[in-house]
Amino acid sequence: MHAAAARIELSALLRLAGPLIASQLAHMLMVLTDTLMMAKISPQALAGGGLGAASYSFVSIFCLGVMAAVGTLVAIRQGAGDKVGAARLTQAGLWLAWIMALIAAVLLWNLSPILLTLGQTPENVANAAQFLLLLPLALPGYLSFMALRGFTSAIGRTTPIMVISLGGTVANYALNYTFIHGLFGVPKMGLVGIGLVTAIVANCMCLVLMLYIRRHPAYAPYPIRKGLLRPSSAALRELWRLGLPIGGTYAVEVGLFAFAALCMGTMGSTQLAAHQIALQIVSAAFMIPAGISYAVTMRIGKHYGGGNLLAARLAGRVGIGFGAVAMLAFAMLFWLAPNALVGLFLDQADPAFHDVIQLAVSLLAIAAWFELFDGVQTIAMGAIRGFKDAKTTFLVGLGCYWLIGAPAAWLLAFTFGGGAVGVWWGLALGLLCAAVSLTLAFEWRVKRLLAQAQANRAAELPAAIDQTASIRAARPKAKAC
């Protein structure tokens, strides 16, 4: 019976996760397209545009974490059968997206003095400013799309997200190519054009998803348009309370990898280049657990909202177990075919890349463990968030990333002379700590909730018995009358 239930849960999880994984990969392809287009302009544009892209990513990743709360809370309302509550939370998510987009845009438009203070060259800062001139206009559409993505995922409809994301990827490439080469009478706009294309595509993707939700009958029971101009302050507060620690978790994790890049940069260009190549490969594989994590959050939230804690525990265990198996398959690929993977990015026949390739291959051997730990900890985070708990994931992430991972990377790289390999072993150690801690935290959270539910039932039982006895005692009197 338990095995049959696990198979049913796995099937439901994969139906939900599949389109989400495809959507994640599509977004990664958009980022890769932007990078390739920067390289076509000039090496200086690539350096400055990369600086601007990194700045944008760091700001947007926090906002993205806050938006992840929409899907979690809507899934809980969906499980409880509260469609109006789900709609109110979605409305609040849209308002929060617009507010954060405005604040983030103002910050990005005034980033140049901060970058100069951090020691970046004036040329790179100037190019970054060009890239960021129109790029922040993507934030209203991008964050609104993520809020609506959370809503439609929570009610079990993820295919539209996949289709729209893939369409956005194609449009992003076509428009970038047009603006870079000045086709069809369009002026060559350089880095400004790449930012403009991203803004156009992000807002168009949001509009398409809005129209789909408005017209498809499956969304009719959710009155999102009704009262949209009067958002619920309670829903806004609930979203912010859950979303803030999720955004913080995303930020500290991104910060850990930024720290690793800084460590590599102090060693030399070979180490930094090898790190970037290996990280691109790892990031592509990471889209699998990222999609599973989001799906696990939706499944657990739905079970939790419906009061079925045993089903919620099963969903978490199935998700973590399947994710571990999937990442073990990638680990085998990293061990058995590292040269082929690196060869997708670098010409192995070119002697200029020999040292970079050798080091990247060494890093992929560590990434086999790295990826397994990272996949498990990401899915375990999603499982805990399904219970409306993001503080635990933030605290565990902060401790494991910055009290263990970052110090270990520094010590192994510089104190013990491990170099680039030492940095990656430090990252792996931090992620191992997070994987173990978060998996145990998930089990502890479920155990505590089950104990609370049992205690509540035990407290309600005497009252129910007394009520039944009172009714029975009253019956003979009523008959005598």
What pLDDT digit, counting tens, does each position of 87-102 carry?
999 999 999 999 999 9
**Domain co-membership, 105 together with 181:** yes
> What is the per-residue pLDDT for 123?
81
Tens digit of each residue's pLDDT (9 = 90 or more) over 141-171:
999 999 999 999 998 888 999 899 999 989 9
**Domain co-membership, 138 together with 211:** yes
pLDDT at 464 over 60: no
Q: Cα dihedral angle (290, 291, 296, 302), rounded to 10 degrees?
A: 130
Which of 231, 253, 272 is the endpoint of a domain?
231
The residue range of the domain holding 120 is: 16-231
pLDDT at 178 over 60: yes
User: 75 exposed, middle or buried (CB, 10 Å; 0-12, 13-18, 19+)?
Assistant: buried
Residue whose tokens read 């338990």: 2
475 assigned to some structural domain: no
> What is the per-residue pLDDT for 460?
67
180 assigned to some structural domain: yes
| Window from 2-6, 7-11, 205-209 with minimum mean pLDDT | 2-6
DSSP 3-state assignment of 224? Answer: coil
Residue whose tokens read 């998803």: 209
C-alpha dist (Å) from residue 297 to 82, 253, 378: 18, 19, 11
8 assigned to some structural domain: no
Q: How confident is the model at residue 355 (pLDDT cuts 50, 70, 90)?
A: confident
Q: Please enumerate, as own/partner, the contacts of 167-171 that have beta carbons within 8 Å and a separation of 24 or more.
A: 167/205, 167/208, 168/26, 168/30, 168/201, 168/202, 168/204, 168/205, 169/26, 169/27, 169/29, 169/30, 169/33, 171/201, 171/204
**Domain co-membership, 222 together with 261:** no
**Domain co-membership, 298 together with 429:** yes
Which of 208, 231, 254 is the endpoint of a domain?
231
Percent pLDDT > 70 in the chain is 91
**Domain co-membership, 204 together with 299:** no
**Domain co-membership, 257 together with 224:** no
Residue 335, token pair as written in the block: 């061990």
Residue 97: which of 107, 105, 85 has the closest Cα? 105
> What is the per-residue pLDDT for 400?
94
186 assigned to some structural domain: yes
238 assigned to some structural domain: no
DSSP 3-state assignment of 414? Answer: helix
pLDDT at 365 over 90: no
DSSP 8-class letter at 413: I
Which of 231, 262, 296 is the endpoint of a domain?
231
**Domain co-membership, 307 together with 220:** no
Residue 222: which of 155, 163, 157 has the closest Cα? 155
Residue 316: which of 379, 374, 249 has the closest Cα? 379
**Domain co-membership, 172 together with 310:** no
361 assigned to some structural domain: yes
2 assigned to some structural domain: no
Residue whose tokens read 């400013």: 129
> What is the per-residue pLDDT for 315?
92
CA distance linking residue 443 with residue 352, whole number of Å = 50
**Domain co-membership, 286 together with 423:** yes
Q: Which residues make Cβ contacts (< 8 Å) with residue 401, sequence separation at least 6?
A: 252, 253, 255, 256, 430, 434
CA distance linking residue 407 with residue 294, whole number of Å = 30
Residue whose tokens read 């399904």: 386
467 assigned to some structural domain: no
C-alpha dist (Å) from residue 245 to 216, 291, 301, 388, 389: 34, 20, 17, 11, 9
pLDDT at 13 over 90: no
Residue whose tokens read 């990898």: 257
User: Based on the structure, what is the number of domains in the chain?
Assistant: 2
Q: How confident is the model at residue 481 (pLDDT cuts 50, 70, 90)?
A: very low
pLDDT at 213 over 90: yes
**Domain co-membership, 324 together with 365:** yes
**Domain co-membership, 248 together with 227:** no
**Domain co-membership, 148 together with 272:** no
Of the chain, the end-to-end C-alpha distance in Å amounts to 53
